[in-house]
């Protein structure tokens, strides 16, 4: 499978487990079997050759950095989801895929935390929360974890047996399942609302929330939590879905020249157009996934003046070196760009 640039390394799928009727986990190792370096909560951006179209998608790692010889991601079927459904239909042990190095800021290392961790998830959003839980437990960190997961029915819970095992093994890991339909009195039936949140978390003092799931779920939980006295500086969310679709940009009269020395290319970009759109318009293949400044797949290095609305997925060192997220950056002068 061809790759666009050297940001990618090839990973081999070594195990596939079908977890539910519509979700599977895939374990990967480096082709050279070197260990992975990552933080719990980070994601991998894969390059997928989808019928000769290169597409990019970010999937959170659900395994622990304390077991660095492989990484596991979970993929859930989504109605109309091109890439996830393609991978579920085709990816098997033995196949190799290009992927970017793990990235992302949804980690304990990058955020303010306390010793009381509320890990809240729904659907496949369980994956980064599970990595954070396992990492904390593997490292014997002095934390109390309350894992609150929402799903339709118990059979939809990805890696349910691992969650149960963690709850049995560790006194400082408490599991709450909220199911839309449940025949087990141990689980809550219905959806997470304010009264249930207050029942589950009577004391919001000294708590940290890491939350990942569908955007409607996260929006609803954020509203519930912000109506309490929870300190929102400790509310950390992960989303790979843009919150609102931006319309077509309205171009201004100002254009800047973009020079791409590696490809010996020059083209014009409007100052209201993202650099990613301008590069794609000029026929340059740039990796991208979320198009909303979250995943980091579209990063490139620029010399010149730019206006960026997000640098969330970049490290301080990358920003210092001149990297920007091209999906969230517009030219404010002529630029020289490298991938
Ligand atoms: S495409 Fe995800 S940050 Fe730009």
More confident residue, 315 or 320: 320
| Residue 259 bridge partners (DSSP) | 266, 336
What is the C-alpha separation between 111 and 231, in angstroms, rounded?
A: 13
- Measured from the CA of 276, which atom of ligand 1 is nearest? 4
CATH number of 116-238: 3.40.50.80
Longest dimension (CA), the chain: 66
Mean per-residue pLDDT, 62-73: 97
What is the C-alpha separation between 120 and 130, in angstroms, rounded?
A: 10
**Terminal CA-to-CA distance of the chain, rounded, Å?**
19
Quickly count: other Cβ atoms within 10 Å of residue 111's Cβ. Answer: 15
Query: 192: CA distance to ligand 1 center in Å?
Result: 30
pLDDT of residue 15: 98
Pocket of ligand 1 contains residue 296 by CB under 6 Å = yes
What is the C-alpha separation between 174 and 210, in angstroms, rounded?
A: 15
- Measured from the CA of 295, which atom of ligand 1 is nearest? 2
Pocket of ligand 1 contains residue 294 by CB under 6 Å = yes
What is the C-alpha separation between 197 and 176, in angstroms, rounded?
A: 11
Report CA torsion sign: 135, 137, 138, 142. positive
Task: Name which of 25-34, 41-50, 171-180 the model is least confident about.
Answer: 41-50
Pocket of ligand 1 contains residue 311 by CB under 6 Å = no
- Measured from the CA of 328, which atom of ligand 1 is nearest? 4
Best residue among 319, 324, 325 to mutate for probing ligand 1, ranked by most atoms within 8 Å of CB = 325
Mean per-residue pLDDT, 16-33: 96
What is the C-alpha separation between 188 and 217, in angstroms, rounded?
A: 16
pLDDT tens, 176-210?
A: 999 999 888 889 999 999 999 999 999 998 999 99
pLDDT of residue 5: 44
Q: Highest mean pLDDT: which of 3-12, 284-293, 330-339?
A: 330-339
What is the C-alpha separation between 297 and 104, in angstroms, rounded?
A: 10
Asked if residue 271 has pLDDT above 60, the reply is yes
Asked if residue 281 has pLDDT above 70, the reply is yes
| Residue 89's pLDDT band (cuts 50, 70, 90) | very high
Task: Tell me the fold of 255-338.
Answer: Ubiquitin-like (UB roll) (3.10.20)
Mean per-residue pLDDT, 300-304: 95
pLDDT of residue 296: 80
pLDDT of residue 247: 57
Q: Where are the domains of the chain?
A: 8-100, 116-238, 255-338
Nearest CA to 303 out of 255, 251, 260, 265 is that of 260
Pocket of ligand 1 contains residue 291 by CB under 6 Å = yes
| Residue 244's pLDDT band (cuts 50, 70, 90) | very low
Query: 294: CA distance to ligand 1 center in Å?
Result: 6
Half-sphere exposure of 274 (CA within 13 A, CB side): 23
CATH topology of 116-238 equal to that of 255-338? no
Contacts of 116 (CB under 8 A, 6+ apart): 143, 144, 146, 206, 207, 208
Mean per-residue pLDDT, 54-78: 93
Asked if residue 243 has pLDDT above 60, the reply is no
What is the C-alpha separation between 147 and 117, in angstroms, rounded?
A: 8
Asked if residue 1 has pLDDT above 70, the reply is no
State ipTM. 0.99
Best residue among 45, 240, 245, 289 to mutate for probing ligand 1, ranked by most atoms within 8 Å of CB = 289
Place of tokens 């935390």: 113
pLDDT of residue 241: 56
pLDDT tens, 100-139?
A: 888 888 999 989 999 999 999 999 999 999 999 999 999 9
Pocket of ligand 1 contains residue 293 by CB under 6 Å = yes
User: What Cα–Cα distance (Å) separates residue 194 from each residue in 148, 201, 226, 254, 308?
Assistant: 14, 10, 10, 49, 36
CATH number of 8-100: 2.40.30.10
* Tokens found for residue 302: 């620029």
Pocket of ligand 1 contains residue 297 by CB under 6 Å = yes
């Amino acid at each position: 499978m061809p790759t666009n640039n050297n940001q990618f390394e090839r990973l081999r799928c070594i195990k596939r487990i079908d977890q539910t009727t519509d979700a599977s986990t895939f374990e990967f190792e480096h082709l050279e079997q070197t260990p992975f370096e990552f933080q719990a909560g980070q994601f991998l951006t894969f390059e997928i050759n989808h019928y000769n179209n290169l597409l990019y998608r970010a999937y959170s790692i659900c395994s622990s950095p304390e077991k660095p010889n492989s990484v596991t991601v979970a993929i859930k079927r989504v109605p109309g989801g091109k890439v996830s459904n393609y991978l579920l239909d085709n990816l098997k042990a033995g196949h190799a895929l290009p992927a970017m190095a793990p990235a992302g800021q949804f980690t304990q290392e990058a955020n303010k935390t306390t010793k009381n961790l509320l890990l809240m998830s729904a659907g496949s959003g369980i994956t980064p929360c599970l990595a954070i839980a396992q990492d904390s437990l593997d490292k014997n960190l002095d934390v109390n974890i309350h894992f609150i997961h929402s799903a339709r029915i118990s059979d939809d819970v990805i890696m349910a047996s691992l969650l149960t095992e963690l709850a049995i093994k560790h006194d400082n890991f408490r599991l709450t399942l909220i199911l839309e339909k449940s025949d087990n009195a141990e689980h809550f039936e219905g959806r997470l609302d304010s009264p249930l949140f207050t029942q589950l978390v009577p004391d919001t003092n000294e708590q940290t929330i890491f939350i990942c799931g569908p955007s409607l779920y996260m929006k609803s939980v954020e509203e519930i939590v912000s109506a309490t006295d929870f300190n929102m500086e400790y509310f950390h969310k992960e989303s790979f879905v843009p919150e609102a679709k931006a319309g077509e940009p309205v171009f201004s009269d100002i254009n800047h020249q973009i020079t791409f020395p590696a490809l010996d290319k020059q083209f014009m970009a409007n100052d209201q157009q993202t650099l990613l759109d301008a590069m794609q318009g000029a026929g340059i293949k740039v990796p991208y996934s979320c198009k909303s400044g979250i995943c980091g797949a579209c990063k490139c290095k620029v010399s010149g003046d730019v206006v960026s609305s997000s640098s969330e997925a970049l490290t301080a060192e990358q920003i210092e070196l001149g990297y920007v997220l091209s999906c969230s950056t517009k030219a404010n002068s002529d630029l020289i760009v490298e991938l």
